[in-house]
């Protein structure tokens, strides 16, 4: 029988209990965090795209018809699990003084309903949706809603974190370890048309090389919530104590790359018209890794007057390892 351990592999102590840590057992569905309010500007839309390594002219501050990159919802309405814990009288392990560790990203599904543009004011609402155990590991899923100044739901997402990991610490690959897969040149087919699209058609490809500098810059970009400079994305010593054994980029960062890759084949409006994106993290995406995002159409249907294309996207690193697996629905 597999026994779950804490994220940092330690048993809770009496001191930990006195600190009233927000452990898996303390988490309850329905626990609510404080609301946040963020004003969307042309500047922060452009900055988010720049940090996502998206060079598209569509995201320049002076672009005509400027809209936010769809995955920017993870920044203007962030999860803020440390602050959900505090609002419910607990201390999150991320900020604990006695048993600090991380509850990392496992998966996230975003659903979009309306475009977000400069001049919008977005209220972020967050709560615990559910918790569950699977194969000895323990997970918590949060629901975050992004509501605009007219009271309309612009987007929502379900974000799942690993609270206890049954398999122990992952290993950091040695430099040059394992077979090194050839990184293919990115392939672009232009925007797809529903009428001519067929199941099995390939999508445009995108290759991204991650670095610690990029991860640090992303950490500096914060539109809501308190800043935390010591985490598994920026603090190597702290990261070594956690399940990935070294720094790795964040789930939302990888989702921004999947978003950018999909926008090679679909306009941003395909997200905002009822599209969705589910991404599961498989292997850490570390500094120095080059991940190629490639995908294909897996379904085609009409629903409620909308034309929908379903897509499967894989992120594969230079060692041939699957980094992430995503399923998207694009509304045309």
pLDDT in tens, 45-56: 999 999 999 999
The yes-or-no verdict on residue 160 having pLDDT over 90 is: yes
**Model pLDDT, residue 257:** 96
Do 91 and 22 meet the contact criterion of CB atoms below 8 Å apart? yes
**Model pLDDT, residue 313:** 98
**Model pLDDT, residue 173:** 62
Listed residue (33, 22, 257) closest to 163, CA to CA: 22
Is residue 3 a part of any domain in this protein? no
Q: Which residues contact 82 (CB under 8 A, 6 or more apart)?
A: 92, 94, 95, 225, 226, 228
Do 223 and 76 meet the contact criterion of CB atoms below 8 Å apart? yes
- Check which CATH number belongs to the domain holding 209 and give it: 3.10.129.10
**Model pLDDT, residue 76:** 97
Q: Please report which helix (H) or strand (E) contains residue 50, including its range.
A: helix 42-51
**Model pLDDT, residue 183:** 45
Q: Mind giving me the DSSP string for 250-307?
A: -HHHHHHHHHHHHTTTS-THHHHTT-EEEEEE-S---TT-EEEEEEEEEEEEEETTEE
Do 66 and 43 meet the contact criterion of CB atoms below 8 Å apart? no
3-state secondary structure 189-202: CCCCCCCCCCCCCE
The yes-or-no verdict on residue 31 having pLDDT over 80 is: yes
**Model pLDDT, residue 167:** 67
Is residue 52 a part of any domain in this protein? yes
**Of 4-8, 72-76, 316-320, the least confident:** 4-8
**Model pLDDT, residue 102:** 76
More confident residue, 303 or 295: 295
Q: What digits encode the pLDDT tens for the residues 237-292?
A: 665 666 666 777 889 999 999 999 999 999 999 999 999 999 999 988 888 899 99
Calculate mean pLDDT across residues 20-24: 94
The yes-or-no verdict on residue 326 having pLDDT over 90 is: yes
Listed residue (258, 235, 234, 4) closest to 139, CA to CA: 4
Is residue 9 a part of any domain in this protein? no
Residue-number span of the structural domain to which 266 is assigned:
21-331
The whole-model pTM stands at 0.86
Q: What digits encode the pLDDT tens for the residues 221-230?
A: 889 988 776 6
Q: What digits encode the pLDDT tens for the residues 180-209?
A: 444 445 555 688 989 999 999 999 999 999
**Model pLDDT, residue 226:** 81
The yes-or-no verdict on residue 9 having pLDDT over 90 is: no
Is residue 11 a part of any domain in this protein? no
Is residue 6 a part of any domain in this protein? no
Is residue 2 a part of any domain in this protein? no
**Model pLDDT, residue 230:** 64
Q: Which residues pair with 213 in a beta bridge?
A: none
Give how far Cα 63 sits from Cα of 8, 71, 133, 191, Å.
Answer: 46, 18, 46, 19
Confidence band, pLDDT 50/70/90 cuts, at residue 6: very low
**Model pLDDT, residue 82:** 92
The pair phi, psi for residue 125, each rounded to 5°, is -120, 135
Q: Please state whether 240 falls in left (phi above 0), alpha (psi between -120 and 50) or beta.
A: alpha
User: Are β-strands 105-112 and 276-281 bridged in parallel, bridged antiparallel, or unpaired?
Assistant: antiparallel
Listed residue (169, 107, 116) closest to 139, CA to CA: 107
Q: Total structural domains in the chain?
A: 1
In the block, residue with structure tokens 């679909």: 266
For all residues of the chain together, what is the average pLDDT?
Answer: 87
Is residue 14 a part of any domain in this protein? no
Is residue 15 a part of any domain in this protein? no
Q: What digits encode the pLDDT tens for the residues 300-316?
A: 999 888 999 999 999 99
Q: Please state whether 245 falls in left (phi above 0), alpha (psi between -120 and 50) or beta.
A: left
**Model pLDDT, residue 219:** 83
């Amino acid at each position: 029988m597999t026994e779950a351990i804490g994220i940092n592999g330690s048993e809770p102590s009496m001191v930990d209990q006195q600190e009233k840590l927000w452990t898996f057992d303390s988490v309850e569905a329905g626990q609510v965090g404080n609301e946040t309010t963020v004003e969307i500007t042309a500047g922060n839309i452009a900055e988010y795209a720049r940090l996502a390594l998206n060079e598209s002219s569509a995201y320049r501050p002076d672009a005509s018809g400027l809209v936010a990159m769809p995955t920017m919802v993870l920044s203007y309405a962030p999860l803020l699990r440390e602050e959900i814990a505090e609002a419910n009288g607990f201390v999150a392990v991320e900020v604990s003084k006695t048993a600090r560790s991380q509850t990392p990203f496992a998966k996230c599904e975003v659903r979009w309903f309306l475009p977000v543009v400069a001049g919008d004011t977005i209220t972020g609402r967050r709560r615990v949706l559910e918790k569950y155990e699977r194969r000895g590991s323990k997970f918590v899923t949060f629901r975050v809603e992004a509501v605009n100044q007219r009271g309309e739901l612009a987007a929502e997402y379900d974000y799942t974190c690993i609270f206890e990991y049954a398999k122990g610490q992952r290993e950091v690959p040695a430099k040059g370890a394992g077979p090194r897969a050839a990184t293919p040149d990115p392939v672009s087919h232009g925007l797809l048309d529903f009428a001519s699209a067929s199941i099995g058609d390939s999508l445009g490809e995108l290759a991204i090389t991650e670095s610690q500098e990029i991860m640090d810059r992303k950490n500096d970009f914060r539109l809501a919530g308190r800043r935390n400079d010591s985490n598994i994305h920026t603090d190597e010593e702290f990261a070594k104590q956690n399940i990935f054994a070294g720094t790795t980029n964040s789930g939302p960062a990888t989702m921004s790359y999947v978003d950018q890759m999909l926008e090679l084949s679909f306009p941003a409006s395909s997200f905002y018209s009822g599209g969705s994106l589910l991404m599961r993290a498989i292997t850490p995406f570390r500094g120095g890794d080059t991940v190629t995002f490639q995908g294909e159409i897996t379904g085609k249907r009409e629903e409620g007057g909308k034309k929908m294309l379903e897509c499967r996207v894989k992120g594969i690193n230079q060692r041939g390892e699957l980094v992430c697996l995503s399923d998207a629905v694009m509304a045309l």
